[in-house]
């Protein structure tokens, strides 16, 4: 059985940063991930990340802009820590060789993104996440941290109230193996695959959120689903919002600009404008993103990824023609409740990145805040997990804790395969989320969603697998992922039903206005014996896990 002091689950930006931070303290770290690290979803993050680096800017300004975007749900302490460290982490990434764009003086170039008062985003053309991910991966190789690529965690090992390791499935062989570690750090990313029309990679299935939820932890603000305004019409790609701050125009199909000039514009209001413009047009509805005002040179130096991908996927040459866009589900702002050091209510379990919630984003993430959140809190969680592991007694749980892991797969294989398939349930889940839990919600739709979800869960309990092979059994992986998605969907729907107001990205047509008196509150969903439990907690009240 492999034993480590810190086991990081997930090889995206948060997981890599966490593994490196833990490694620096001298503990034995391993990184286990469902895909090879460079395949992580962060590679698709385009436009840049915020760091208050310019002399005119400050961490306070950054925090204030974030709080303004967050529509009253940001945690002050989290924002303070985040904005102070974002700048340090930006410089650290630069130091490690991330090839960010430069000014003519050779300084880090900063671009303004929507909602920021000043140019604040460090960027590498429009593949910033990609270079950050690859830069951190280089450092992982340098540190010679052992990696388990293409391993899927199927359960946490909890003994005497402490997380002590994980059980994981090796995709390549089909074998299940227990990993022992006094500190387990979840950095599994988001759950965008809840939605059919989303920007999410295939790996974004909420695995870590589900593991924590099943372990009795609370998921916070799960109703907050951020849409990205500039998604492609028929694909998962999206254009960076930096296109707009750098001079692109957003027009309706008649060619009329739809945005007031000179923003600032937060993503949530933006998506609402777009939804309004497209009302009644259904799937055909779109707006046109016109990059021609930028000119060929700026497109080449600042938007080379979009240039390529618009050509390949949408068949549009962006220096000649406008690109049809529409909002796509982008990411969850909620996640596993953690402290600023990434610890959770379960001793030995840590979380960072998109699967974790700290209150930085509130009800609407400021453009440019998400990627760097993974870096800042990945580092903090990695360091805290290492400190915890060093102080912890060696893991000595009885073998009996891990019941023959293979038996769990055998039990799945023993089910009767019928008309009902994992794929079908997944499709229905995504369709129901698109339909009822999308950009604009209402009580009736959410109730229908809850009812359909219950039915889907019942069907999931009965579903059999058609394929029983051991090697790269994608259906088996999808089976586990669907369990995660159903858990996350439950939390999203429950929280959305509970919040009877409109705030940030959570818009309800039956409660169109914010209600500050009653709803400066976070929603917390936990997995009870008799079904999910929803609680609320006032903003900025002390977190007591």
Partner 1 sequence: MMQTTFKVHRFDPEQPEHARLATYVVELPESASIVDGLTYICDEQDPSLAFRANCERGSCGDCALRVNKKGVLGCTTKIVDVVGKDGIVTVEPIRHVPVLKDLVYDMETFLWRKVRAVTPWITPQAAGPNGASTVSEQKIAEVRTAMSCVMCGLCDEGCTVVAVDDQFVGPAALTKAYRAIFDPRDTRHVERLQSISEPDGVWDCTHCFEANGHCPIGIEPTDRIFEIRDEAIRLGIRSGKQNPKVRRHYDSFVNSVKKSGWLDEGRLAIESEGLFNVRGLLKLLPTAARAIVRNKAPIPYMHHKRPGAKAIRQIIEKAEGKRS
**Binding segment toward partner 1, per CB under 8 A, in 2-10, 160-168, 382-390, 417-425:** 417-425
- 97 lines the binding site for partner 1 (CB under 8 A): yes
For partner 1, the binding residues in 422-461 under the rule CB under 8 A are 422-424, 427
Q: Which of 142, 279, 462, 500 binds partner 1 (CB under 8 A)?
A: 142
Q: Does residue 197 sit in helix, strand or coil? A: coil
Distances (CA, A) of 191 to 293, 353, 355, 358: 35, 12, 8, 17
Nearest to 240 by CA among 192, 197, 302: 302
**CB 300, min distance to partner 1, A:** 10
Q: Which is nearer to partner 1, 9 or 222 (CB)?
A: 9
Q: Which of 131, 352, 381, 409 binds partner 1 (CB under 8 A)?
A: 131
In whole angstroms, what separates CA 159 from the centre of its chain? 29
Q: Which is nearer to partner 1, 151 or 305 (CB)?
A: 305
> How many Cβ atoms sit within 10 Å of the Cβ of residue 544?
7
Residue 272 known to be catalytic: yes
- 138 lines the binding site for partner 1 (CB under 8 A): yes
Q: Which of 107, 284, 407, 455 binds partner 1 (CB under 8 A)?
A: 107
For partner 1, the binding residues in 229-258 under the rule CB under 8 A are 234-237
Nearest to 71 by CA among 419, 513, 545: 513
**Binding segment toward partner 1, per CB under 8 A, in 16-24, 96-104, 159-167, 243-251:** 96-104
> How many Cβ atoms sit within 10 Å of the Cβ of residue 198?
25
**CB 409, min distance to partner 1, A:** 15
Q: Tokens in use for 100?
A: 């960010």
Q: Tokens in use for 279?
A: 């009302």
- Hey, which residues does 532 pair with through a beta bridge? 527
Nearest-angstrom CA–CA distance, 444 and 475: 34
Nearest-angstrom CA–CA distance, 490 and 501: 19
Q: Which is nearer to partner 1, 235 or 520 (CB)?
A: 235
Q: Which of 95, 320, 393, 517 binds partner 1 (CB under 8 A)?
A: 95
Nearest to 352 by CA among 534, 214, 189: 189
Q: Which of 1, 60, 99, 293 binds partner 1 (CB under 8 A)?
A: 99
Q: Which of 9, 13, 32, 40 binds partner 1 (CB under 8 A)?
A: 40
How many residues at the interface with partner 1, by CB under 8 A? 66
Q: Does residue 183 sit in helix, strand or coil? A: strand
Q: Which is nearer to partner 1, 141 or 533 (CB)?
A: 141
Task: Name the CA radius of gyration of the chain, rounded.
Answer: 22
**CB 413, min distance to partner 1, A:** 13
Nearest to 338 by CA among 381, 394, 386: 381
- 35 lines the binding site for partner 1 (CB under 8 A): yes
- 3 lines the binding site for partner 1 (CB under 8 A): no
8 Å CB contact between 148 and 15: no
Q: Which of 404, 467, 518, 541 binds partner 1 (CB under 8 A)?
A: 467
**CB 222, min distance to partner 1, A:** 24
> How many Cβ atoms sit within 10 Å of the Cβ of residue 505?
27
**CB 38, min distance to partner 1, A:** 5
**Binding segment toward partner 1, per CB under 8 A, in 329-337, 344-352, 450-458, 463-471:** 463-471
Nearest-angstrom CA–CA distance, 541 and 225: 23
Q: Which of 3, 61, 96, 214 binds partner 1 (CB under 8 A)?
A: 96
Phi, psi of 25 (to 5 degrees): -85, -5
**Binding segment toward partner 1, per CB under 8 A, in 66-74, 122-130, 175-183, 377-385:** 122-130
Summary count for the chain: helices (H), strands (E): 15, 22
**Binding segment toward partner 1, per CB under 8 A, in 18-26, 93-101, 250-258, 321-329:** 93-101
Q: How big is the CA angle at 542 (ends 539 and 545), to the nearest 5 degrees?
A: 110
Which residues have C-beta within 8 Å of that of residue 16, sequence separation ≥ 6? 31, 37, 133, 136, 137, 139, 140, 378
For partner 1, the binding residues in 192-221 under the rule CB under 8 A are 201-203
Nearest to 183 by CA among 405, 391, 397, 399: 391
For partner 1, the binding residues in 281-320 under the rule CB under 8 A are 301, 304-305, 308-309, 312-313
Q: Which of 18, 332, 465, 488 binds partner 1 (CB under 8 A)?
A: 465
**Binding segment toward partner 1, per CB under 8 A, in 89-97, 159-167, 207-215, 504-512:** 89-97
Which residues have C-beta within 8 Å of that of residue 5, sequence separation ≥ 6? 22, 27, 28, 29, 181, 182, 183, 386, 389, 390
**Binding segment toward partner 1, per CB under 8 A, in 58-66, 256-264, 324-332, 472-480:** 472-480
Catalytic residue among 272, 379, 380, 503: 272
Nearest to 257 by CA among 247, 269, 246, 267: 247
Nearest-angstrom CA–CA distance, 55 and 290: 32
Q: Which of 159, 252, 475, 501 binds partner 1 (CB under 8 A)?
A: 475
CA atoms within 13 A on the CB side of 66: 33
Q: Which of 279, 415, 466, 500 binds partner 1 (CB under 8 A)?
A: 466
**CB 380, min distance to partner 1, A:** 19
Q: Which of 108, 251, 387, 448 binds partner 1 (CB under 8 A)?
A: 108
**Binding segment toward partner 1, per CB under 8 A, in 133-141, 209-217, 340-348, 374-382:** 133-141
8 Å CB contact between 194 and 489: yes
Where along the sequence are the contacts to partner 1 (CB under 8 A)?
35-36, 38-41, 43-44, 53, 88, 91, 94-97, 99-109, 124-125, 127, 130-131, 134, 138-139, 141-142, 172, 201-203, 234-237, 301, 304-305, 308-309, 312-313, 421-424, 427, 465-467, 469-475
Residues tagged active-site: 272
């Amino acid at each position: 059985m492999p034993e480590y002091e810190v086991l990081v689950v997930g090889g995206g930006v948060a997981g890599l940063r966490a593994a490196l931070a833990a490694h620096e303290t001298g503990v034995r770290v391993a990184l286990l991930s469902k895909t090879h690290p460079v395949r992580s979803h962060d590679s698709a993050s385009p436009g840049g990340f915020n760091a208050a680096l310019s002399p005119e800017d400050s961490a306070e300004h950054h925090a204030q802009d974030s709080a303004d975007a967050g529509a009253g749900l940001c945690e002050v302490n989290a924002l303070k820590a985040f904005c102070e460290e974002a700048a340090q982490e930006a410089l650290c990434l630069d130091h490690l060789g991330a090839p960010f764009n430069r000014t003519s003086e050779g300084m880090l170039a900063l671009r303004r993104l929507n909602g920021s008062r000043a140019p604040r985003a460090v960027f590498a053309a429009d593949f910033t996440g990609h270079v950050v991910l690859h830069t951190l991966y280089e450092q992982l190789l340098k540190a010679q941290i052992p990696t388990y690529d293409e391993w899927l965690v199927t359960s946490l090992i909890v003994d005497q109230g402490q997380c002590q390791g994980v059980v994981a499935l090796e995709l390549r062989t089909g074998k299940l193996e227990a990993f022992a570690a006094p500190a387990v750090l979840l950095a599994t990313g988001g759950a965008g695959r809840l939605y059919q029309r989303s920007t999410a990679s295939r790996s974004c299935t909420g695995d870590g959120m589900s593991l924590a939820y099943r372990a009795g932890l609370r998921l916070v603000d799960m109703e907050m689903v951020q849409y990205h305004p500039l998604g492609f019409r028929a694909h998962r790609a999206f254009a960076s919002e930096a296109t707009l701050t750098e001079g692109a125009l957003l027009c309706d199909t008649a060619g009329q600009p739809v945005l007031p000039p000179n923003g600032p514009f937060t993503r949530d209001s933006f998506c609402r404008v777009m939804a309004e413009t497209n009302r009644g047009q259904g799937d055909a509805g779109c707006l046109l993103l016109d990059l021609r005002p930028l000119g060929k040179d700026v497109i080449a130096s600042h938007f080379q990824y979009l240039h390529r991908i618009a050509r390949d996927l949408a068949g549009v040459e962006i220096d000649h023609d406008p690109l049809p866009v529409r909002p796509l589900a982008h990411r969850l702002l909620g996640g596993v409740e953690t402290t600023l050091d990434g610890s959770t209510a379960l001793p030995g379990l840590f979380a960072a990145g998109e699967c974790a919630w700290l209150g930085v984003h509130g009800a609407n993430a400021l453009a440019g805040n998400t990627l760097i959140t993974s870096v800042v809190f990945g580092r903090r969680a990695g360091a805290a997990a290492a400190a915890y592991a060093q102080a912890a007694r060696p893991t000595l749980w009885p073998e009996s804790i891990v019941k023959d892991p293979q038996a769990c797969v055998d039990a799945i294989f023993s089910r009767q395969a019928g008309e009902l398939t994992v794929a079908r349930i997944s499709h229905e889940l995504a369709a129901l989320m698109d339909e009822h839990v999308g950009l604009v919600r209402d009580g009736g739709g959410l109730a229908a969603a809850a009812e359909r979800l219950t039915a889907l869960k019942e069907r999931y309990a009965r579903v059999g697998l058609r394929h029983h092979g051991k090697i790269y059994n994608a259906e088996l992986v999808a089976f586990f992922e669907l369990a995660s998605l159903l858990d996350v969907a439950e939390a999203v729907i429950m929280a959305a039903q509970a919040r009877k107001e409109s705030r940030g990205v959570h818009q309800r047509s039956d409660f169109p206005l914010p209600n500050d008196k009653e709803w400066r509150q976070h929603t917390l969903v936990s997995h009870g014996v008799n079904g999910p439990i929803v609680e609320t907690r006032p903003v900025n009240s002390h977190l007591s896990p």
